[in-house]
Each structure stands twice: as C-alpha cells, then as structure tokens.
Amino acid sequence: MANEKILLIDDEDDIRTIAHMSLQAVGGFEVLLASGGEEGLKISAREKPDLILLDAMMPGLDGPGTLKRLKSDPECVDIPVVFLTAKAQQMELNELKEMGAEGVLTKPFDPMTLPDQIRPFLPS
C-alpha cells in the first residue's frame, strides 16, 4: 500500500518542520507542505492528498477561508481537513466542524503522537 499523503498548510516554519519530521519519520506518511492558504489550494488540486492539516490563523487566506474554498471545489470536497489551532475554544471548535472540518488538534502538539492523532481522520 502506498503511503498516505498528508498536506500540511501552516505559515509557521517551525511547525511545518516539526510536523513534517513527525509525520514522515514516525508516521511513515508522504508529507506535502504549504506556507499559506493559496499555495495549499494549488497543491490540493494537483496532488489530491488523503488528509489536510490546516492552520486556523494565517495571514492572507486564513484556515476557515481555505476550508470554505476546498469544500466548494468538487475535486477537493471529499478530502478530510483537520485544523491545527493554538487557541481552541469550544465555540471555535464547533464552528470549524460546522464548516466541514473533520477535527481540530491543538498546538503545541506532541511530535511523537501526532501521527496517531491524525490516523482516525484518514479515509479507510
């Protein structure tokens, strides 16, 4: 079986580096990286990842805006999206799920457990 492709969209270099190493080395995933929403949309359309990890707060096209555009694209609508957010209040969590997110993970995350945290959101 081919490695699942995970697209990580986050504007913070450190988060992308740590998550990339975690998902690739610990989880065995193929990892695609984008530093913003627009770049993430282009990669999603081209690569059709199995899962998208999406930062909620980014300059320019933010996480909710990126999610809205992903869910309106027939090619990407079925890709599960899990938000990464530093300030996860219950109201925000519910709003993100209502918008179509499969789940929400909080930052900081444990690099050793991140792969196990996202596995339930991958298509079977």
Structure tokens at 73: 């694209």
Q: Is the dihedral of CA 97, 49, 10, 20 positive or negative?
A: positive
pLDDT digit string, tens, across residues 107-124: 889 999 999 999 999 988
Whether the upstream peptide bond of residue 115 has omega within 30° of 0, thus cis, is: no
pLDDT digit string, tens, across residues 48-104: 999 999 999 899 999 999 999 999 999 999 999 999 988 766 657 778 888 899 998
- When pLDDT is averaged across residues 27-31 and rounded to a whole number, the result is 96
Structure tokens at 57: 């707060």
Query: β-strands 81-85, 30-34: how paired?
Result: unpaired
Q: Which domains occur in the chain, in start order?
A: 5-121 (3.40.50.2300)
Q: Which residue has the tokens 């300030």?
A: 87
Q: What angle do CA 91, 62, 33 make, to 5 degrees?
A: 115
Structure tokens at 114: 């991140």
pTM over 0.85: yes
